[in-house]
Structure formats: structure tokens, C-alpha cells
Structure 1
Amino acid sequence: MLSKKIISFAASALIVFSAACPALAASTPRSTKESSPIHVDYAYINRVSSTLSISNGTAHIFGYVQRTTSGKRIDVESTLERYSGGSWDRVASWSASSNSYSASVSKTYRVSGGTYRVATYYSVSGSSGSEADTLYSKTVNC
């Protein structure tokens, strides 16, 4: 009799918790890491941004990396991606490097209808190695 009560309680709890959790599926693709000010403690990277805007069929791509005073060489690559068939496909890519305080990619590109984002890969090297990651812009539909 005690085991029936435990099973009944467990089944009730399962129903309550599964009803309270929203579905995780989204109708539009989402980036895992969307562009916003980065608040990670890096030794060599001070600031990074990755943005995309689309107006009248023209995509405006911008990737920016700023180093700290400990950083030395900056590499940045911004890739325009289009969502198709459940995955992100590369459309075009641009890169820049610098030994200065910052490096950026600023480009325009003609696009047709679809969902787009910019993936900005960045790397800054210093005296004891390098730090690198990828930052994604918000998705834009056109």
C-alpha cells in the first residue's frame, strides 16, 4: 500500500512539473551567444561586438575587437550566415588583423529574403598565450 502511494505521488509530481515547463523548441533559429556587451574576465580582450542590420536588401556587417594593454595582436573574422534547412550556411566572410588597440570588419553585402546572422571570431594574443571565441549577432529576417 505504501508503494502505491509513492508511485501515485511520483506520477503526480511528474505531471505537475512537465506541465509547468515550457517547450524548448523555437519557431525561429536562435544564436547560442547573441551580441551584447561581453562581461567575461579576459586578460587580453577588452571589448567585442558583432552586429548585423539589413535595409533594402543590403546587409551591414560589423565585427569589432578591442584589446587590453596586455594584449598584442588582434585577429577578427566576421562571417555572414544564412539559416537554411535547419543549419547556418556561410554566405561571405571578411577578416582583419592589427597590432594596434583594436581591429574591425565593416562591410556591406547584397542579400535576398531569409534569416541571417553574423558570426564574429576573435583572437587576441599576449605574452603568455592567446584568448579566442566567437560572438553571434542577433538574427535578422529580410
Structure 2
Amino acid sequence: MRYQYKFEKILTIKEKEKNDAFTKYNESRKSFEEVAEKLYKLLKKKEDLEAFQKEKLVSGLSVQEIRHHQQFMENLDRIIDHYQKAVIEARSKMEFLHSKLLEHNMEVKKYEKIKEKDFQRFLDGIREDDNRNMDEISIQQFLGRENR
């Protein structure tokens, strides 16, 4: 007798959904890491630029150079703001997809648990049939001995 799980197609679909969710989560995680890395580099660049500007102020700067640095810093601040928003969006997307992945993972585990229990019942049924057959054979052998 061959075992056939009655929800096999559903389990296959749920596993595919879980794999798709895992792929989307990984993509969002990589995207988050890339945006966060860009933000980190920009913040580092700003920090270095501020330190450079302080050094230059000590040695003396022209008004034109000060304006140039200030304008550059303002542009850098706008870019940093943009990337901070992008990091927040990427993080929330990644967290959302992670929760979806966890949901799909729980669904798959539920169907796998049902499959395990169903398979165990199948094995128990086979054992019961085997025991009944063995009892029947024993009875037949016993009756065959008495008739001799």
C-alpha cells in the first residue's frame, strides 16, 4: 500500500509561497544594506569634511571658500536626509517582508505537522492490518492442526 498525503498539492503551493517570500525578503534585505551603506558613507564624508573645514578655519579661509564649503554641506545634508528616508522605507519594507516570511513558514510547518500525523496514522493502520492478518494466519494454522 502506498502512502498518499491528501494535502500534498496545498503543501507544495505553500512551500512555493514560502520560497517566494524568502526570495523577496532577501532582496529587500540586500536593498536595505545597500542604502544603509550609502548613508553611512555620506555621514562619514560629512564628518571628514567638517573636520577638514575646522582645520582650514584655524589656518584661515577666504569668504568665497567658506561659502563654497557651506553650500556643499547644505547639499550633502539634503542628500543625507534623502538617504535617511530611503533607509527608513527600506527597513520597514524588509520588516514587513520578514513578517510575511514568518507567516508562510508557519503555514508550511502546520501542513508538515498534519502530514506527519497523517503518515503516522497510515503506518498504524498498516500495523493493525498486519496484526489482523497474522492473527488470521495463526488461527488458520491452529485450526489446521486440530483437523489432522
Query: TM-score scaled to structure 2, two decimals?
Result: 0.23
Query: Higher helix share goes to which structure?
Result: 2
Larger Rg: 1 or 2?
2
Would you tell me which structure has more strand in proportion to its own residues? 1
